[in-house]
Amino acid sequence: MLSLKRLLDRSLTAQATLIFLLGLGVTALFRRDEHPAVWVFHSALYTGVAIAVLAVQRRRAARAVGTDAGGLADLNRKVRHQQVPRDPQEQAAMRRLVDEQLGQLERAGKWLPYWAGAMGLIAVGMLVLGAVTGSLAFPVLFTLGMALLCTWVLWMRRRSLDRLHRMRQALREQ
């Protein structure tokens, strides 16, 4: 499992393969009536868009930190494991990475109430539609799923903020 995580952390090809397979499964699940070639086309399209976004984000982050994609993956792993590097250049790169990620999380936090409100409106709308049509099973499951997703996003955001603040403090002490 550790080698799979490291492979997915470093390789765009591995990420593309995983996205393609997941996209193929989800497309096949929701579009059972269509030809399998359509499933493959849609999955390839989803994969292309996702990998383009990932590549741009990875390149921008690597440029901001001053390292390559592999070095960025190593620095992110060290942040996750709360390992402060001994090398002064690597410490400087990690400081830039932590500052960049904290800035992104703080900028995204401005939109968090709007995002949560939109998710809540969608969930309430689904419940209303379910009540009007008389079928509440799917809307209730959808609302529970939406609540779990929002809770998970908020928990991961809080966890990332705590981790990055601890790493910033540890880097200041060095």
Each residue's pLDDT tens digit, 47-75: 999 999 999 988 888 888 888 888 888 89
| Three-class SS state of 24 | helix
What is d(CA 39, CA 27) in angstroms, rounded to the nearest whole number?
Answer: 6
Q: Quick one: angle between helices 69-80 and 137-173, nearest 10?
A: 90
Is-contact 104 160, C-beta < 8 A?
A: no
Indicate the pLDDT class of residue 146, thresholds 50, 70 and 90: very high
pTM metric for this prediction: 0.78
Mean pLDDT score of the chain, rounded to an integer?
A: 91
Euclidean distance between CA atoms 6 and 77, whole angstroms: 9
Please enumerate in sequence order all residues whose Cβ is within 8 A of that of 139, keeping only pairs 6 or more positions apart, or say none. Answer: 126, 127, 129, 130, 131
Q: Which residue has the tokens 């009536």?
A: 33
Which residues, other chains included, contact 41 with Cβ-Cβ below 8 Å and sequence gap of 6+?
A: none
- Within 13 A of 115's CA, how many CA atoms are on the CB side? 12
Average of pLDDT values for 126-146? Answer: 92
Question: How far is C-alpha 68 from the geometric centre of its chain's CA atoms?
Answer: 20
Say what the pLDDT of residue 67 is. Answer: 86
Tell me: pLDDT of 7 over 90: no
